[in-house]
Amino acid sequence: MTQTYFTPERIRWLHNKQVGIVMSPAFLVIECREIWKGSYFSRTGWSTHAPKDAPPLWIGENFRKALLSSEYFNTPGEPFLDGEEVDAMSRASNARRLAFWEEVASTYGYKKCEQAGSCCDMVFAQWHYLVDDFVILTPSKRTTGGHFAWPSNTKQHKEKVMHVPLSVSDEDLGLAVQEALSRCEVPKRQTVNMLKP
């Protein structure tokens, strides 16, 4: 990779904040992420959960709080990060993630974290905060191995991805998140975990 690849414009675009939104048959989870050379459960950012029927205002308020608290630690153009620092971060991130999901499982009557995470739909949220004030909501397709988003050059990507200005109200932001969740796809004989109108 040549150094000219990392123009000032691209470096600004690479800086981003991320949130994961998870909908199960019982609950809604908002996960704050921190970005190194990859995305990790945030050690300090706002992650929370609520019953599946949480109102749009609650969703919007907490989604915005999580997005604003997401942090970018990567260094574009540098091939490596400090290994010891990354290892320490990864351990702390994993510990907080496990504690969070144990709380989710306990709150909604699951015996194990793995059970709480099954049959879930997921939306990936990303904000290029040095470029504009639009958050990108990317619905995913549920698979036996997790979730995946459609490549940007596909018809499904163009039809499903949403660009939402952060200047909207918390309630409108929550409604946008709900709409993005409704655009998720699941394998045959399964259903998307959205509330019926």
Query: Where residue 121 sits, what CATH number does that domain have?
Result: 3.40.1590.10
Instruction: Report yes or no on whether pTM surpasses 0.75.
Output: yes
Residue 106 lies in a domain: yes
- Work out the burial of residue 63: count CB atoms within 10 Å of its CB; fewer than 13 is exposed, 13-18 middle, 19 or more buried: buried
Residue 155 lies in a domain: yes
Please, what's the largest Cα pairwise distance for the chain? Answer: 53
Domain count, the chain: 1
Residue 197 lies in a domain: no
Residue 151 lies in a domain: yes
Residue 92 lies in a domain: yes
Residue 10's domain comprises 3-182
Residue 126 lies in a domain: yes
Please give the Cα distance from 184 to 180 (Å, whole number): 7
Residue 62 lies in a domain: yes
Q: Which residues, in sequence order, are CB contacts of 32 under 8 Å at separation 6+?
A: 19, 41, 42, 45, 46, 47, 66, 67, 69, 70
User: For every one of its 197 residues, what pLDDT tens digit does the chain have, with 9 covering 90 and above?
Assistant: 445 677 889 889 999 999 999 999 999 999 999 999 889 999 999 999 999 999 999 999 999 999 999 999 988 877 777 788 889 999 999 999 999 999 999 999 988 887 887 778 999 999 999 999 999 999 998 876 677 777 777 877 788 999 999 999 999 999 999 999 999 887 765 666 665 54
Residue 193 lies in a domain: no
